Homo-oligomer: A and B are copies of this chain.
Amino acid sequence: MQDETLLMMPGPVPMPQRVRLAMARQAINHRGAEFGECLDDINRMLKPMFGTENEVLVISGSGTAGMEAAVANFCAKKKVAALVNGKFGERLYKISKLYSDNVVGLESEWGTPLHLERLKEELENGAEAVTLVHNETSAAIKNPAEEVGKLCKKHDALFIMDGITSIAGDVVKADKWGADVAIVGSQKCLAAPAGLAAVSVSDKAWDNLAEWRPMYLDLAAYKKSAAKSQTPYTPAVPLFFALREACMIIEEEGLENRIARHRNLADAVRAAAKSWGLELFPKLDEFHEYSNTATAICYPDGIDDSKFRGVIKKLGIEISGGQDDLKGKIFRIGTMGATGAPEVMAVLNATLKALNELGYRQEGCGLAAASDILKY
């Protein structure tokens, strides 16, 4: 039996050994050539994952730092339309309100489709920037980034896209979709340690650079330093070594293969849930899809969240519950990063045991349904 808990959450996710060991190196001078090469390597390897030709800037901070950098640098004082159908959409909405007095929240119930018609109206009414979470893991719903991008382009609005849990695990085409700013977090599909956020910035976004910018998250300072292969403030060097290694692993796998694998794993989890007679949480329409990297499943009546996840944890696996109002109503399984069939079968086995132990009797054989689909 493994001695560490297997994380099957929508991040953080298990790290490959090569990534972990990359952190154990001795400290280096982050103003020297060696760190510069590391930063340049990361920048080069992240670009295709973002689907961008724009420079990608790496911040020593969490995904939230990346979100705040995007909003503070490019949305301050603007008329902002914030699309919300989950916790992270809400966070972007909240951050936008910190930096502008003119923010409209276009709120849907969590896990239900975004109001694209209302977005059109807001753009017609002069919205200058739009925030969107591409892959909303709080509800395991994939939002229509391409559609939103088209609307933003048509109305010449800036498009800020949180790709924290989709980039490197799902198709993202920041340039093609017109995402002026896109953000990824290190501990999600990249399978690197937590603590870095990377942000791509279009020329149009730079043209909209805010006059007042915070110091630590001043992206103009990051851009200026990146030209010298540096960061403006001391970087969290071990995390950069690890992220480079993680990017190299992704290059070796091939981005398309990696995305196909993520899709396959999520397909398998959904097939198992449906076969067992469980309901998937997201409500979709023609523009919205299930997440490619996480699955949210409604608890059947009478299953207690903390007991359920307790049984699974005793089996050495951690999954996530619902956040905020969804606490106790759903559970979430992440299939991001370096995971494959062994981990998916392990988490499904534990899920079934927990369901049974708490009195739920499944309909069909979900394990076989998943096994039938799994290719990795």
Contacts and interface: CB of A to CB of B under 8 A. Distances in A.
A13 B214 CA distance: 28
A15 to B, nearest CB: 5
Interface stretch (A63-71, A138-146, A248-256): A63-71
A61 B28 contact: no
B12 A64 contact: no
Most buried by B among A12, A63, A72, A235: A12
A29 B15 contact: no
A193 B238 contact: yes
A216 B30 CA distance: 24
A314 interface: no
B234 A62 contact: yes
B14 A20 contact: no
A318 interface: yes
A257 interface: no
Interface string A182-195: 00010100000111
B26 A239 contact: no
A217 interface: yes
Interface in A5-45: 5, 7, 9, 11-15, 20-21, 23-30, 32
Interface in A208-227: 212, 214-217
Given A98-B215, A234-B185, A239-B236, A14 B32 contact: no
Interface in A253-288: none
Contact of A23 (B60, B238, B318): B238
A318 B30 CA distance: 11
A62 B221 CA distance: 15
Q: Tell which of A20, A212, A214 has the most Cβ of chain B within 10 Å.
A: A214
A95 interface: yes
A118 interface: no
A81 to B, nearest CB: 19
A375 interface: no
Contacts of A13: 27
Q: Which residue of A25, A32, A195, A318 has the most chain B CB atoms within 10 A of its CB atom? A: A195
Contacts of A9: 29
A61 B61 contact: yes
Contacts of A32: 318
Contact of A195 (B63, B185, B238): B238
A98 B32 CA distance: 30
Given A63-B234, A216-B64, A216-B217, A24 B27 contact: no
A4 B30 contact: no
A237 interface: yes
Given A4-B26, A27-B194, A318-B32, A187 B234 contact: yes
A233 interface: yes
A94 interface: yes
A284 to B, nearest CB: 28
Question: Closest 7 interchain pairs by CB?
Answer: A195-B236, A23-B23, A62-B234, A64-B233, A62-B233, A12-B27, A24-B24
